[in-house]
Structure 1
Amino acid sequence: MEVVILSDTEAIGAVAADAVGALLTRKPTAVLGLATGSSPLAIYDELARRCSAGQISFARARGFTLDEYVGLSADHPQRYRNVIDAELVSRVDFASEAVRGPDGLATDIPAACTAYEAAIAAAGGVDLQLLGIGTDGHIGFNEPGSSLASRTRIKTLTLQTRTDNARFFGGDRDAVPTHCVTQGLGTIMAARHVMLIATGRAKAEAVHHLVEGAVSAMWPATILQHHPHVTVLLDADAARRLQLVDYYRETYRGKPDWQDL
């Protein structure tokens, strides 16, 4: 696990966009795992800017989103399919139907989850998965107590997650759905490269457990300690509880020029 501590969200966006751009250069048909929420917004802004400038292209790439609320109408602005369209897909040159998300409106949700796993496998698996992290350590919507080997499935959201996400629903926690469909921890772990972004003091405890804590279902993101290629991009506030913060800074400063993220 490589921990990179940067000055602000703009710096994080630039470094992450460099990694996405390098992947698309060497593999134009790359499969990207796309997260929603506030964490990746600076990345999507930078990717859109570079695509507009002709520096990168998504024309042959594919994307799979992490999760989806269950029961939100197809036109609801907070439906994650609509969110990712607004934040990234509509701003770059993905081909039509190149980005797919879990179906939160399926009449047979278990069958839809199985089909989603099959679609990811048929695409060759995810090359680069972008992630945020919840204050309770969830990634995707894999809440505390999730199986570390789980695959795409329906989950009940915790009160903490619904409270955290109320800001997207006009501050009304009761408007946040109680259920979601999410890629499982096992699904996420199958990606070849995982890049997790965390900013702000509210994420500091979760980041501490992620990087330096014990692997535990109570802090689901800690399963990433077992992944062979994880990059964690942080600002100083999110890194404030790390014991080895000086070492992480020194390591990144001394990184060889030839070594990518």
Structure 2
Amino acid sequence: MEIVIRDDAAAVHRTVADIVERRVRQGAAVLGVATGSTPLGTYRELGRRHREEALSFASCRAFLLDEYVGLPGNHPQSYRSVIATEFAAEIDIDPDAIDGPNGEAADIAAECARYDAAITASGGVDVQLLGIGSDGHIGFNEPGSSLVSRTRVKTLTRRTREDNARFFDSADEVPHHVMTQGLGTILEARHLVLVALGEGKAEALAASVEGPLAASCPASVIQMHPHVTVVVDEGAASALGSSDYYRYALSEKPTWQYF
């Protein structure tokens, strides 16, 4: 695991965009895309590179981390709509190459199984972007989630629904259930890139990278992955006990070694 501490959010987004760009320029990348406010700056930076630096996503595929159950796919806060607006519209990816769980499926359990199988059939995700919740969740794997879980339905905690209420008119409108890639599904991606911004994520971040591996902090499962890059700003890094070492290791990083 590599912890990269940047001065501010803009620098974080440039670093994450560098990671994605490097893989995309190698051709036929499968990207795992996250929603929420954290990755939006990265998507805008990738869009700029597409327009100004000929970065093409035409040969890429993308898979969503999660989706609300029961929210129509054309609802502006469905994750399918968010990714279409904030990511796909900024680049040249084929909209048909983006897959996500169907929250309106008649058989939700079968849809979860289909989605896991579709990721596997694609050859697996090359770069998976992840945010982290203030309670340590990734995707919508809330505290208590199995560390080997697959794509499934989860009930959102009150805290998560309150955190997400900013995207709706009120907390009452936030669905109670989601379909989410499981922690075991996420761990199958070849490169995990976890992004955190602001002091509000500091405690959860410290628990995930420096605390024990525990279902009570689902993001701690990234400690089990062989290739993880954690990119954070100073606020999110403020609770890390070994931040001096992380900065030193980055400053001494071999020039030939990529994130």
If the TM-score is normalised by the length of the shorter chain, which range does it land in?
Answer: over 0.9
Deviation per CA, 1:151-201, whole angstroms, max 9, x where unpaired?
00000000010010000113x111100000000000000000000000111
Q: Does the aligned pair in 1 maintain the 2:155–2:177 contact within 8 Å?
A: yes
Distance 2:48 2:130 in 1: 21
Counterpart residue number, 1:66: 65
Counterpart residue number, 2:232: 234
Distance 1:55 1:96 in 2: 19
Counterpart residue number, 1:189: 187
Aligned pairs for 1:63-212 (under 5 A) are 63-170=62-169, 172-212=170-210
Counterpart residue number, 1:10: 10
Structural RMSD (CA) = 0.7
Off by >4 Å, runs of 4+ in structure 1: none
Pick one of 218, 221, 224 that aligns with 1:220.
218
Deviation per CA, 1:7-36, whole angstroms, max 9, x where unpaired?
11111111111111110122x111000000
Distance 2:95 2:171 in 1: 34
- Segments of 5+ residues of structure 2 without an aligned counterpart are none
Letter in 1 for 2:108: I
Deviation per CA, 1:229-257, whole angstroms, max 9, x where unpaired?
00000111101111101111111111111
Counterpart residue number, 1:247: 245
- Segments of 5+ residues of structure 1 without an aligned counterpart are none
Residue 55 of structure 1, CA deviation = 3.0
Distance 2:226 2:166 in 1: 35
TM-score by length of 1: 0.98
TM-score by length of 2: 0.99
Secondary structure of the structure 2 residue equivalent to 1:106: coil
**Between Structure 1 and Structure 2, how many residues are aligned?**
259
Distance 1:47 1:96 in 2: 16
Moved more, 17-26 or 173-182: 17-26
Residue 41 of structure 1, CA deviation = 0.9
Deviation per CA, 1:127-169, whole angstroms, max 9, x where unpaired?
0000000000000000000000000000000001001000011
Residue 54 of structure 1, CA deviation = 3.8
Residue 42 of structure 1, CA deviation = 1.1
